[in-house]
Structure 1
Amino acid sequence: MGTCSTSWFDGAHALHIRVYSSDGYTITERCADGNGWTTGATFPGSQASVITWADSAGQHLRLYVTNANVTTEYCSDPGTPGWTKGQYVQP
């Protein structure tokens, strides 16, 4: 089992935390946005890493999930609902 996490403060100074945990087959997102913990998205995979940054549009997240030796980038961006597959290509 593996875990990675990220956090940020929004414009109203509220803390947001994301934790991504694997049971060896599925990555599960857990979210804390000030009202306790909720379960977010799930992704097929055994390993994950995450980064986040903010710009004038808002908060961006990139989640890199490895499944069967292939890494896929998932993107969460302001103005785009949910997660989308990114452009990362594994060499």
Structure 2
Amino acid sequence: MSDNPNYPIGTAAVSWLDSSNQIHIRVYSTDGYTLTERCWDGGGWVAGGFNAPGGAVSATSWQASDGVHIRVYATNDDATIEWCFDPGSDWTQGQYTTS
């Protein structure tokens, strides 16, 4: 149906606990063209600030002494692009390149 929204065809998720044991979840979904982020920080699901082109998605995260680091890998136009979120910064394109 033309009036239906674009439904996700691929999903990746990351999670971590903060210092007060609050769980945080990030879900990255693609409709085949665009990746979007949904966030859970204990108060319900909200739209996140990440949005990028991509037909496939994977993600990883880790917690370091400075906070949580997130990497999202989006496949688009026969290449994989790395997107990075690090403490104190906004989303930036990473250095990963497809061989």
Candidates 48, 54, 59, aligned match of 1:45? 54
Q: What is residue 64 of structure 1 aligned with on the other side?
A: 73
How far, CA to CA, are the matches of 2:54 and 2:75 in structure 1? Answer: 5
- The residue type equivalent to 2:16 in the other structure is W
Q: What is residue 90 of structure 1 aligned with on the other side?
A: 98
TM-score by length of structure 2 reads 0.87
Task: Name the % identity.
Answer: 51
Query: How many residues align structurally?
Result: 90
- The residue type equivalent to 2:46 in the other structure is T
Structure 1 or 2, whichever has the larger Rg, is 2
Candidates 19, 27, 34, aligned match of 2:42? 34
Unaligned 5+ runs, structure 2: 1-8
How far, CA to CA, are the matches of 1:53 and 1:18 in structure 2? Answer: 12
2:84 is aligned with 1:54: no
TM-score by length of structure 1 reads 0.95
Note the aligned Cα RMSD (angstroms): 0.8
Residue 63 of structure 1 deviates from its aligned partner by: 0.5
Could you give the per-residue CA deviations for residues 14-71 of structure 1, whole angstroms, max 9, x where no partner exists? 1000111111100110000111111112110111100000111111000000111111
